[in-house]
Chain A
Amino acid sequence: MIAGLAFYAFAAVLIASAVMVVTSRNPVHSVLFLILGFFNAAALFLIAGAEFLAMILVIVYVGAVAVLFLFVVMMLDIDFAQLRQGFQRYAPIGAVIGGILFLELVFVLGAWQSSGQSEGLRLNPTPADVQNTAAIGRVLYTEYVFLFQAAGLILLVAMIGAIVLTHRDRPRSRRQDIDAQVSRRTQLDMANVPVGASIGQLGILRPLPPEQPKPKAVAQDHGDHGHGGHH
Chain B
Amino acid sequence: MIDFLNTPVGVLALTVAQALAILVPLLIGVAYMTWAERKIMAAMQLRKGPNVVGPFGLLQPFADAAKMLMKETIVPTGASRVLFIMAPMLTFVLAMIAWAVIPVNEGWAIADINVGVLYLFAISSLGVYGIIIAGWASNSKYAFLGALRSAAQMVSYEVSMGFVIVTVLLCVGSLNLTDIVLAQKGLWFFIPLFPMFIIFFISTLAETNRAPFDLPEGESELVAGFFVEYSAMTFALFFLGEYANMILMSSLTTILFLGGWLPPFDVAPLNWVPGPVWFILKICLCLFTFVWVRATFPRYRYDQLMRLGWKVFLPISLVWLVLTAAVLKIFGWLPA
Contact = CB atoms under 8 A, between A and B. Distances in A.
Contacts of B249: none
Given A32-B133, A67-B128, A195-B46, A52 B158 contact: no
Interface of A: 2, 28, 32, 35, 51-52, 55-56, 58-59, 62-64, 67-68, 70-71, 74-75, 131, 133, 176, 178, 195-196
Interface in B117-140: 118-119, 121-122, 125-126, 128-129, 132-133, 136
Interface string B28-65: 00000000000000000010000000000000000000
Contact of A52 (B46, B115, B132, B307): B115
A65 to B, nearest CB: 10
Contact of B122 (A28, A35, A59, A176): A59
Given A55-B119, A56-B118, A71 B148 contact: yes
Q: SS class of chain A's interface: helix, strand, loop or mixed?
A: helix
B118 A52 contact: yes
Contact of B113 (A2, A51, A75): A51
Given A63-B158, A68-B155, A55 B132 contact: no
B21 interface: no
Contacts of A133: 114-115, 175
10 nearest A-B residue pairs (beta carbon)? A63-B125, A55-B118, A58-B122, A59-B122, A51-B115, A55-B115, A71-B151, A131-B114, A74-B136, A55-B122
Contacts, number: 64
Interface of B: 8, 46, 83, 113-115, 118-119, 121-122, 125-126, 128-129, 132-133, 136, 144, 147-148, 151-152, 154-155, 158, 175, 303-304, 307
A52 B119 CA distance: 9
A53 to B, nearest CB: 10
26 contacts: A35-B129, A51-B113, A52-B118, A55-B118, A55-B122, A56-B118, A59-B121, A59-B122, A62-B122, A62-B125, A62-B126, A63-B122, A63-B125, A64-B155, A67-B129, A67-B154, A68-B155, A70-B132, A70-B151, A71-B148, A74-B148, A133-B115, A176-B303, A178-B304, A178-B307, A196-B46
B144 A74 contact: yes
A195 B46 CA distance: 9
B136 A59 contact: no
A67 B122 contact: no
Contact of B126 (A52, A63, A70): A63
A60 to B, nearest CB: 9
Nearest to A63: B125
B157 to A, nearest CB: 12
A59 B118 contact: yes
Nearest to A26: B80
B126 A58 contact: yes
Contacts of A35: 129
A74 B114 contact: no
A196 B45 CA distance: 10
Contacts of B148: 71, 74-75
